[in-house]
A and B are shown apart, each in its own frame.
Chain A
Amino acid sequence: KQEVTQIPAALSVPEGENLVLNCSFTDSAIYNLQWFRQDPGKGLTSLLLIQSSQREQTSGRLNASLDKSSGRSTLYIAASQPGDSATYLCAVSSGTYKYIFGTGTRLKVLA
């Protein structure tokens, strides 16, 4: 059974810092991995989607990497801003297309 864990559970950093969020999964047989952002009381915003054949994806200040063999993904946020404050979720999809979500990292960027 696939399990997805995110570390740290919460993170507070000063504005401008570069930071890394971690996601690990127990079953490496995945089709893709997706990183989402969720603001309090809101739905999900897709940030980056990495196919199983890819190693990384980049969008603006965000870079996500995937190491399928070790069951890990990282989300790198460069030059963090207060507007980046949110909960970040990673989710993995297997052959049935179902997404298994991680436990989330609550990020707070201090001005």
Chain B
Amino acid sequence: GAVVSQHPSWVICKSGTSVKIECRSLDFQATTMFWYRQFPKQSLMLMATSNEGSKATYEQGVEKDKFLINHASLTLSTLTVTSAHPEDSSFYICSAKSSGLAGDSYEQYFGPGTRLTVT
């Protein structure tokens, strides 16, 4: 089956620094990727839709200047948390929608997540 990876799986950073999280589709091309965040004991909330070659679309309430998304290729999207603060500590999960595969059923494939802790 299709595989999505995330790197790093776990990161600790100091308040005020920036952190980049990568999301890769390993064996398929993904023109669209999605970024979610999950606070402890809560469900996943969609942050933004990442489209290859164009600007990301952010959900209401998500600061686009704080969460920079770059989808530079058909297999890679990056999320950069700028000037991170402790309240940004969360579990970030990406998903990728396959494009061009036979039998495309709108299924998305989810990455394993990245746990960010800001101290």
* A contact set with B: CB distance below 8 Å: 31-32, 34, 36, 41-44, 46, 49, 51, 89, 91, 93, 96-104
In the complex, the answer to whether B106 meets A89 with C-beta atoms within 8 Å is no
The answer to whether the Cβ of B54 comes within 8 Å of any Cβ in the partner chain is no
The CB with the most chain B CB atoms within 10 A, among A31, A42, A89, A99, is that of A99
* B93 touches which of A41, A43, A98 (Cβ 8 Å): A43
In the complex formed, the residue of A with least CB distance to B109 is A46
Given contacts A43-B112, A43-B113, A44-B93, whether A99 and B105 have CB atoms under 8 Å apart is no
* A101 touches which of B44, B97, B107 (Cβ 8 Å): B44
In the complex, the answer to whether A51 meets B105 with C-beta atoms within 8 Å is yes
8 Å CB interface, B1-54 against A: 32, 34, 36, 43-46, 49
Majority SS of interface residues in chain A?
A: strand
In the complex, the answer to whether B46 meets A97 with C-beta atoms within 8 Å is no
In the complex, the answer to whether A97 meets B97 with C-beta atoms within 8 Å is yes
Q: How far is the CB of A102 from chain B (nearest CB, A)?
A: 6
The CB with the most chain A CB atoms within 10 A, among B43, B46, B111, is that of B43
Q: How far is the CB of B38 from chain A (nearest CB, A)?
A: 9
* B contact set with A: CB distance below 8 Å: 32, 34, 36, 43-46, 49, 91, 93, 95, 97, 105-113, 115
A-B contact pairs, 16 of them (CB 8 A): A32-B105, A34-B107, A42-B112, A42-B113, A43-B93, A43-B111, A43-B113, A44-B44, A51-B105, A89-B43, A97-B97, A97-B108, A99-B46, A99-B108, A102-B43, A103-B43
For A42, what are the chain B residues with a Cβ–Cβ distance below 8 Å? 112-113
In the complex, the answer to whether A101 meets B95 with C-beta atoms within 8 Å is no
In the complex, the answer to whether A32 meets B93 with C-beta atoms within 8 Å is no
* A98 touches which of B49, B109, B111, B113 (Cβ 8 Å): B49
In the complex formed, the residue of B with least CB distance to A98 is B46
In the complex, the answer to whether A41 meets B115 with C-beta atoms within 8 Å is yes
